[in-house]
Amino acid sequence: MESSLTNLTIFTIIMVWSLPWKAIALWKAAQRNDLAWYLPLFILNTVGILEILYIFVFSKKKDIKK
């Protein structure tokens, strides 16, 4: 019983952490018509890592080129 409660708590923390990052990254990719990023961001669950990289690194590079 304690193990399943611990697992549920960890899962909940991961979801609360990753969902806002995923939403922001998907929104940015959609606004930029960046389908090459949108699909992996939508399909893969990287606990926010890929999403954070997209938001702060990769989405900025294209803005600088404009």
Number of continuous H segments (helices) and E segments (strands) in the chain: 4, 0
Q: Is the pTM of this model over 0.85?
A: no
- pLDDT tens digits along 17-38: 999 999 999 999 999 999 999 9
H/E stretch holding 35: helix 35-43
- Check whether 66 has a pLDDT greater than 70: no
